[in-house]
Every structure is written in structure tokens, then in C-alpha cells.
Structure 1
Amino acid sequence: MAMPKNESGTTSLSGLDIAGAFFAPIQEAGPPSPTKRHIKISIIGTGNVGMAITQTLLTQDLADELALVDALPDKLRGEMLDLQHAAAFLPRTKIVASTDYSVTAASDLCIVTAGARQIPGESRLNLLERNVSLFKKIIPPLVKYSPDAILIIVSNPVDVLTYIAWKLSGFPSNRVIGSGTNLDSSRFRFLIADHLDVNAQDVQAYIIGEHGDSSVALWSSISVGGVPILSFLEKRQISYEKETLVKIHKEVINCAYEVIKLKGYTSWAVGYSVANLAWSILRDQRRIHPVSVLAKGFHNIEDGEVFLSLPAQLGRGGVIRVINVPITDEEADHLRGSAKTILELQEHLGL
């Protein structure tokens, strides 16, 4: 095919498909294989947390397309361009951004990080009410454009807002997941590993319940390298102080507060945590994560519909099942107390 000439007689690519000029077509090429899956993830909110999640997802080569949505158009475009300019150093991922939710159409996974910030002196309930109003603007359009998506809620208070997202979406509960205590459990594993001088990946330990001050540390199920810690200590008649366990749990709760005090916000750890959940879901890994799920019916929680974190198996369908992890009577009491705390907040909202 002859290429068009400009006025000086030189070849011009103006008005021509450059890719078509650059590549020679393959003879009798058929359409792309129908088995190839295009994975799309949408992230709502491009603050520190949203961008940490985005950056982590990009480096892990999980999605073919990332869609970013935010209410601030200039910041949104700036973040998109900044990421696009790194294309030469990253796996090939299409990055799009808009204030219009239509950009999220046909998403496999929608991750919501947007949320109102607490005003000094503002009550937790008032902050929650403002976030509920915000979710009423976020969730319906996500459902409209991606009716088959799975929702991951990261915005705080995550357990109540996951419940709100579930109600607003009309999705089955297995497709609405809160990031919950997945990060709390990572902090827990780190602190235990630090005490024992082992790799955190060799520590199996869960924080369950509320992502907050009423969370529950499952000491009875902690193992290191497959060895249950508490029963091991008891069999070897090695004494330990319960206060030490309580102190480690308090450290887990205070971790986020310390990071916020020092740098103003948390971002990187939650970025890795949520990307970890996305990987398990979209790659159908069927791994166990402590995430916020509809907890009614588990561990004698019967008072109402409440989302809180329990060890759950995640895969392409979202929550596949909740693990029947054995817990002590004391841990069960704390868990029901955690559920009560969340239910009281929901009742105040008058939902």
C-alpha cells in the first residue's frame, strides 16, 4: 500500500493507522481466541490508599485494564498520566480514568476506597452518616455498569460500609467483601514472627471480628511452621503470661494509629493487603483470608445481619465458604461482642 505524501513530497503518516503501517498482516489470520479472558479492575477513590492499591496491582500483572474513578478531575488525570508514563517499566495494562462511572463498565472487580474524612471533633456516627450518603452515589452506578462484578470495600468503618454496600447493591452476600482484618492479621503475624525471630509467612494467625478496637485475636489457632503454639508451650510446660498476649493484640490495634501519627496516613500495607485479596479472587486461588463477610449464623451470631471478619475461602465467585475455625468460649464471647458493637452503629443509622 502506498503511503500518502505531504506537500514536500516526503512520506506522511497523517490520517493513516500507524500500527497498520508499522506491521505487516498475517495471511488468513482469524479472530482472537475466545478463551482469552480480559480482566478489568475498577478502583473508586484515588487518595493515598486507592493509589497504593493501584500501584501494587500494576506491578503484580493481575489486570488487563484498570479504571480509576474520583470526584477530583485534575488529580484523577494527573494520577492516570503519572502511571501511564511508567508503561515502559510495567506489565502491559490499559489505564483509564474518569469522574463518570461509565468508565467502570464490565469490571470483574470493583474496589471502593473513597470515603469522607473525619472533621476534628466530629462523632464517629456523624462521619458514618456522611459515608453512607457517599456510598449511595457510588454503589448504584457500579452495579449498573458491572452487574456481575465482585465488590471489595476498603473505606472505613469497613464492616458497616460493607453491609451498606451489600444492601445498596442487591448482590448476593458472597459478592460483597470487606477488606476487614486481612491487614490486621498481617500485622499480627509480623509481631508474632518478630517475637519468635521467624519469617512472617511461616506464621498462621488470625484477627477476626471488627476491623477496629473490638477485634478478636485467635490465640488458640496460632501455629508456626505447622506447630500450634499454645498447645506446644503447655505440653513442654513452658510458662507464658497472658499479659504478653494481650500486649501483642494491643500493638496490632495501635499499629495503624502509630503510622497515621508518624506519616499522616496508612497506604502501602493496605495496598498489598487488598491486592492480595484481588489476586486470590481473580486467579481463583481459593486461599483463606480473614475478611468482612455476612456473619449471621456463624459462632451463634443470630441477632441481626452484620458483616465482620471471619476466615473465608476466596475465589472467582467471591466468598466460596467460611472456615469453621475452632475458637474458645472466651474468643466466641468477644466475637459476639464485636458483632454487637457493629449492630449498634447500624441501628443508630436507622437503616
Structure 2
Amino acid sequence: MVNFSKTRKVVVIGTGFVGSSYAFALLNQGITNELVLIDLNRDKAEGEARDLNHGMPFGSPMKIRAGDYEECRDADLVVITAGANQAPGESRLDLVNKNAKIFKGIVNNIMEVGFNGIFVVATNPVDILSHVTLEVSGLPKERVIGSGTILDTARFRYLLSEYFQVDSRNVHGYIMGEHGDSELPVWSHVQIGGVPLDRYTNLMDETINKDMTNLFENVRDAAYHIIEQKGATYYGIGMGLARLTRAILHNENSIVTISTLVQGEYGLDDVYIGVPTIVNEYGVRQIVELQLTNTEQQQLRESAALLKEMTGKALEAIKEE
């Protein structure tokens, strides 16, 4: 059991598959000691809270309840998982305007009660909606975080571990860029047990190796496959959000690939995008700037350009309301 020196309060907005999976992960891992669930469907939030509480004898002590926006006033963390879902065949970017308008209302409701903690955004398209949250909330960029490519990076590490038959905890690598179709694998920084991948495997160029190309495509397209098979993805991102929550509430100064506002780093400016970032109790402490290859840098620029264009449309959409 974790011993807390102060109340650590997390509010989850949206108790769909992702929100409830995240709440379940928090209970299992004993990351926080006060959890509030908010949903337009109050009965759904009440039911989830009741179900989670019934597992308390098997987990860590925690206060779990349904609530309303007033609960955000003294929250350390507000995690937004609400919004329209990604339909089969629909890209994350197709969701832009639909969810931007939903977010404007949610964030305004949260800020009206005096929230002064950290936002974590998980709803897709996450990079764009993180920027919308920043604009609507008026909070410093350090305190508005998107889940970014945290799940893509986990998928990458898992598939590499399966391919090379090495524990995924000993595989290190990053997926950067958009949480979506324009993301990129940073092959130049993949390591297995501290050994660079090209030396571990004697691969001269991972970008033209058929197995590695297929592996990355499985990472990039994982959500499409899972949505086609079971309708939605939620366990992986639920655990990813729990990992990010632990890094924040426990002041870990951990490096995670989240979506944050870049302002000069990697030669990019004024766009939320997935990059390795040091995170602690204050939110974003520092973006980690990797030395990328020319190809990787170009791919990152292209991903950022796409996100910047779509973010501009989303911000225009919420201004018109």
C-alpha cells in the first residue's frame, strides 16, 4: 500500500470504456486515494463507482464516488476521457470538430469552479484536443498534458520484445509525432538491454527491413485492428494513463512520450505533439530532445505540419460557437 503524505485527488470526466478501465487500473495499483467519476449519464458514473468500491477489499484503500464538476475545485488531476468514439474506418483526425466543441463545454465547466491542477487529455484526436484544452483553460502549458504516443510507444516496445524474445521492460524505444497515422518510429534510439538495435541485430537499416517495417505498421494501425475486432481500445490506454498519473502524483521525474506544446524544440513551434518528456508533480518539466536522423526529423516535421493545420481548424470551430 502506498503511504500518502496528502490527499491525492483524481477526477475522471467520462466513464466509458477508457475512463472505467483507467479507474480500474488506479484501484488495482493504489496510485491515488480519492477518485471521483463524472459523466453526463449520472447513473453510469454511480454504477461504475459502486462496482469499483466492491473490489476495495482486494485492493488499496481509496475513496471512490460519482460527482459533478464542483469536485474539480480541489483536484490534483482532471483526466478527460469523454467524447465521441472513433468509428470503424474513421481516422482520429476525423473526430476533430466533433470533439473540439464537446471539449470547449467540458473545460469551461471545470475552470468555472476554480480548478488549478493538471489536465490530462486522453480523448482523440488527443494532440489537437490537448491544444484546445490549453486555449480554453488558460492554464500554463506545463499543466495541460495529452496522453500522446504513450500507448504507441508501449505497443512498439511490446512488439519488439515479442520479435526478439526479450522482456519488454528491457526494450527501450519511442514512437513520436501524432497519436495517429503520421506517427514515426525512432529507430535510431531503439535499444535492447542498452545495446543499440542496429548492433544487437546487425541490421544496417531498419527502415528497409521487411520485418521491422511490418512491426511498425502493426504499431501504427493497432487501434484500427482492435476497433474492427472488438469495437474500441481501452485496456492499454487505461494502463498508460495510470502510468502517467503515477509519474505526476509521485513526482517521479519520469520520461514518458506524452503530447505537449513544443516551442522551438525539434525545430517545431506552437503545436501539441508526442515527444519524450520529463514529467513530475508540476506537470511537464522538460522536453527531451533526441538527436534524430534526417529522415526521422523530416517525418516529425510532416507530422507536426498536419497537426498544426488540423489544430487551426479545431480552434476556429470553437471560436465560431
TM over 0.5: yes
In the TM superposition, what are the counterparts of 1:152-171 in structure 2 within 5 Å? 152-171=120-139
Structure-1 separation of matches of 2:211 and 2:239 = 28
- SS in structure 1 of the partner of residue 266 of structure 2: coil
SS in 1 for 2:5: coil
Q: 2:283 aligns with which of 318, 321, 346?
A: 318
Alpha carbons of structure 1 residues 205 and 120: separation in structure 2 relative to 1, 3 Å = closer
Match of 1:96 in 2: 65
Kept in 2, the 8 Å contact 1:50–1:271? The answer is: yes
Deviates more, 1:77-86 or 1:124-133: 124-133
5+ long unaligned stretches in structure 1: 1-34
Q: In the TM superposition, what is the alpha-carbon distance from 1:258 to its structure 2 partner?
A: 1.5
State the TM-score, normalizing by the size of structure 1. Answer: 0.84
1:300 equivalent to 2:267? Answer yes
| Equivalent residue, structure 1, for 2:253 | 286
| Aligned partner (choices 28, 41, 50) of residue 72 of structure 1 | 41
Q: Is 1:56 aligned to residue 25 of structure 2?
A: yes
TM-score by length of 2: 0.91
Structure 1 SS opposite 2:10: strand
SS in 1 for 2:124: coil
Q: Partner residue of 2:109?
A: 141
Structure 1 residue ranges, 4+ long, deviating more than 6 angstroms after superposition: 119-126, 237-240
RMSD (CA atoms)? 2.1
The structure carrying a bigger helix percent of its residues is 2
Q: Deviations over 1:266-317 (max 9, x none)?
A: 1111111000000011101111001001023111114xx2100000001011
Contact 1:158–1:179 (Cα < 8 Å) also in 2: yes
Counterpart residue identity of residue 27, structure 2 = L
Q: 2: CA distance between counterparts of 1:275 and 1:123?
A: 25
Q: Does 1:242 align with 2:209?
A: yes
Query: What stretches of structure 2 of length at least 5 have no aligned partner?
Result: none
Q: Given the alignment of the two structures, is residue 173 of structure 1 paired with residue 141 of structure 2, yes or no?
A: yes
Aligned length: 312
Output one character per residue of 1:207-257: Cα deviation in whole Å (capped at 9) or x when no partner: 0000001001000000010111124555xx878653332221111012111
Q: Which amino acid aligns with 1:319?
A: V
Q: Is the 8 A contact 1:106 1:145 kept in 2?
A: no
2:313 aligns with 348
Q: 1:244 to 1:118 in 2, by over 3 A?
A: closer
Q: Which has the higher contact order (CA 8 A, sep 6+)?
A: 2
Counterpart pick for 1:251 among 205, 210, 218: 218
Measure, in 1, the Cα distance between the counterparts of 2:237 and 2:127.
16
User: 8 Å contact 1:293–1:310 — kept in the other structure?
Assistant: yes
Render the CA deviation track for 1:66-93: whole Å, top value 9, x for unaligned. Answer: 0110001221211111112222222111
